[in-house]
Amino acid sequence: MKNKNFIEGVAIIGKYINQDGFNVAAGHDQIWSGSIEIVTDQKDIDLLKELGWFKEYDSWSCFT
């Protein structure tokens, strides 16, 4: 994944996070961030998918 796509994806997810922030987890070559329920705008969901993000384990995820 391009750094730009990762950064844009985190920025989209970050728009839906409260002031306490959100968790990011990483394992091997994959990153998980935020729960899938927090991103509610269909345009943002579509953009995340275009950027290479996908839903897995109730979180937004991408490969590095």
pLDDT above 90 for 60 = yes
Cα separations in angstroms, 44 against 10, 28, 49, 58, 62: 11, 26, 9, 17, 15
pLDDT above 90 for 8 = yes
pLDDT the model gives residue 46 = 97
pLDDT the model gives residue 9 = 92
Average pLDDT score over residue span 15-34: 79
Place of tokens 């969901």: 45
DSSP class of 15: T
Show the domain range for 57.
Answer: 3-63
pLDDT above 70 for 16 = yes
pLDDT the model gives residue 19 = 58
Q: How many domains does the chain have?
A: 1
d(CA 3, CA 31): 13
